Amino acid sequence: MKLWQKDTASLKEVEVFTVGRDREFDLLLAPFDILGSIAHVTMLETVGLLTPEDKNSIVAALREIYKTTSPTHHSPLSIHPDVEDIHSQVELLLTQKLGDAGKKIHSARSRNDQVLVDIKLFLRHELEGLVHHIQPLFELLQTQSEKYKDHLFPGYTHLQLAMPSSFGLWFGAYAESLVDDLVTVKAAYEVVNKNPLGSAAGYGSSFPINRTLTTELLGFETMNYNVVYAQMGRGKAERIVAQALANVAETLARLSMDACLYLNQNFGFISFPAELTTGSSIMPHKKNPDVFELIRSHCNRIKALPNEISMMTTNLPSGYHRDLQLLKEHLFPAFKTLSACIEMTGLMLSNIEVNKDILADEKYKYLFSVEEVNKLVNQGMPFRDAYKKVGRDIEAGQFTYDTTVNHTHEGSIGNLCTAEIKVLMDQVLSGFPFEKVRKAVGELVGRE
């Protein structure tokens, strides 16, 4: 069954090629396709395109089908081999159950805006899930930051010894990084939280539909008003979401690279229980950071997603094009991958072992050169003269130092501003309208 088919069937090879992996990813869209259809038929009844009786029977049937989209259902929804996509499958089930009433569901919409609303609802849902994965990792990073704030270790620039750092600073840096990452996730959420339903094939409808009503029913914040832009937004929304995912991935990839370096015996800053590392087939001493290496690789691949999507949509004119179908198989799996990386990062950091007194080793003595310069400045010596004096002492092998560090300004070793960073995160989190969306979805599917 195909929504667009008339009397002439496509060549089998054409059908297989054009459908591709769409049916596989359409199952992910199934619950959202049904939500969009419930909102659509509810609206159709208010403008006189469906009788109250037809509307009630269709909504009741759609709610029953919605239950089968749960993977735990005793008979989960599937797409019949002869059916092209999830949209056709749902309409087929309705027609089998309700007869002619089921055939009326597609009035005043196109498969184009149907797919659009499905994707936006899916992306909205997945972004919410991502936020709920990020939040506990942020809290863990803050906890570890405070726990290890007095444990110093070397800071580097150009991978050369620079100045003293601390594990408090290190953990706290990645916590604050997630705050900015979540700002971009929120921006992506705002882009996808706009209703395209009613744009039809991209040029609107001659039916007197009520797009404001479907916007409210689906819990969208607003709509994509211009019907041409609603279609143009496909591809753009995916790219913006991909960039938000890439930002989170960048944070995890960099943290993972740090962890791989710091676990190295030449650094020796951290360690992990044996069960969280892997061994070698011939070297019995090995404790490899395979988890962090795989997180790094997965996340680097996610960082390439915005460019992949950008290239796939390059030079497309306005209107719908089949190129856009392929975006799903690139973007959709990234949510699961990134969430798994976040969970594994949390597992590893929950079990990290931090080595103490690292900076007592004399090889790190030049980390304190800036501290010695600053001491001279505090005694009245001009900075440039103090810099030269300490530099000459180092060259002459006469450098002396004290490992005591006293940094008090905001965001420094002695003043991590953990509470202030948490306030920033709470402000971002409070801007997501998750409760409003959950309430709207609950009302559509008839949940109390």
Show the domains of the chain with their CATH numbers.
12-106 (1.10.275.10), 111-360+417-445 (1.20.200.10), 362-395 (no CATH)
Q: What is the pLDDT of residues 400-418, one digit of tens each?
A: 999 989 999 999 999 999 9
* Mean pLDDT across 242-270: 97
Say if residue 5's pLDDT is above 80.
Answer: no
Q: Read off the tokens for 161.
A: 């010894």
Q: What is the pLDDT of residues 115-145, one digit of tens each?
A: 999 999 999 999 999 999 999 999 999 999 9
Q: Give the DSSP letter string of 389-414.
A: HHHHHHHTT-----------STTBTT
Beta strands at 194-195 and 222-223: parallel, antiparallel or unpaired = parallel
| 3-state DSSP percent of the chain in helix, strand and coil, to 5 | 65, 5, 30
Q: Which residue has the tokens 């496909």?
A: 234
Q: How does residue 97 score in pLDDT terms, banded at 50, 70 and 90?
A: very high
Contact assessment for residue 109 and residue 200, using Cβ atoms and an 8 Å cutoff: yes
User: Half-sphere exposure (CA, 13 Å, Cβ side) for 397?
Assistant: 0
* Mean pLDDT across 197-215: 96
The model carries a pTM of 0.92
Say if residue 233's pLDDT is above 80.
Answer: yes
Nearest Cα neighbor of 426 from 251, 185, 182 is 182
* Residues paired with 107 in a beta bridge: none
Is pLDDT larger for residue 6 or for residue 191?
Answer: 191
* Mean pLDDT across 222-247: 96
Supply the DSSP symbol for 9: P
Q: What is the pLDDT of residues 327-339, one digit of tens each?
A: 999 999 999 999 9
Supply the DSSP symbol for 98: H
Q: How does residue 4 score in pLDDT terms, banded at 50, 70 and 90?
A: very low
* pLDDT, position 74: 87
Task: Compute the distance between CA of residue 305 and CA of residue 152 in angstroms, rounded to an integer.
Answer: 37
Say if residue 367's pLDDT is above 50.
Answer: yes
The pLDDT > 70 percentage for the chain reads 97
Taking CA atoms, 377 is separated from 380, 384, 393, 400, in Å, by 5, 9, 16, 16
Q: What is the pLDDT of residues 140-150, one digit of tens each?
A: 999 999 999 99
Average pLDDT, the chain: 93
* Mean pLDDT across 180-193: 98
